[in-house]
Structure 1
Amino acid sequence: AWTGDEGSRAVPEDPVRCKTLASRLDVLLKKLDGVKHENGSLRVEIDAIRQQRIQLNGIFERLKVEIRQRTAQLADFVEETEASRSVHNDAKLRVGVMRRQREVERNNFKSEVMRIRKDLQKTDHERKEIEVQLKRASEGVQKKKELIIPLEEHGFSEACMMRRIMKAAFLNCIQRRHIK
């Protein structure tokens, strides 16, 4: 049986029952305080985790931006390297072509010099033969011990003649190069 008005708090009349309810209330209040305390500490922990997550998200975003920048930089470096490699290969090809062309020109020049040298030797030999024949015709047969030396050969310099030949061949080579 409860006493009290309907609008006011009902209080049990039985003191044993009242004590039991008070002890239950005490136990439940202690549990409630424990749960509230645990809830508070969990909230603090959750707030710390949230704060840490916000910081880590900021760091993560900065790292993503930095990775994008590094990736773009790396792509630029790769592109520059490819361009440099392409230029290097082109230069190698041009050097190879120039070397082959130089060898061809050198061989042509050499063969031209040899041909001119043979022509000079041939004309020199023919000239000597003609001089010998003329001298024989005018003086008769000479003694075999004496060498026939034409007048032009007294002042002849082989080195000077070779310089003139080389100069003419070189100028011809240059002129041919300009014509091509």
Structure 2
Amino acid sequence: MSSVDHSQFFKEISGRMENTLKVLDKELKGLRTSRASVNFLDAVQVEIYGGRGPVSQVGTVSTPDSQTILVQVWDKALVKSVARAISDANLGVTPMADGQMIRMVMPPLTEERRRELVKLGYKYSEDAKVAVRNVRRDANDELKRRQKNKELSEDELKSATQEVQVITDKFISEIDKMIKEKEIDVMRI
């Protein structure tokens, strides 16, 4: 395997691990903090003309203050569908429709609920770590296969395996950083 193959191989591994971080980031943004956030509704899927899509495809989501989320629905015919989707998502908020505007007031979080959210965040981070380690395993298997097929020497295999571990450690560290930041954010009153 030439150095060109190496860089492309490691770039592919990093890309797969980066996708795991994007998924984790989206999951963590969906966890509620004590402040209203436009990302709060990211996971809510609305019935749109026979299909499904996120709330952001049918209206503008805004936070006029730290406790309120507003959705300005563009098509009046979809207001009920958006309100129902928010209710069905069990987010702990009650959508109130007023014309083409849907308002949600974020109730304060209890200490117990904050701890549950942190625990859920840690579950998401563990799932992300497992996904990163699975990418590492796949990469190492591919390297061993190449070594077996005489595309890599023993020294190249060892060096490449070490590089895969360095990349893995970098992403695991990033996951730890992300969950720590979210924990601080959720526990802040």
- Tell whether the structures are fold-level matches, with TM greater than 0.5: no
TM-score by length of 1: 0.32
Query: Bigger radius of gyration, 1 or 2?
Result: 1
Provide TM-score, normalisation by structure 2.
Answer: 0.31
* Between structures 1 and 2, the one with greater helix share: 1
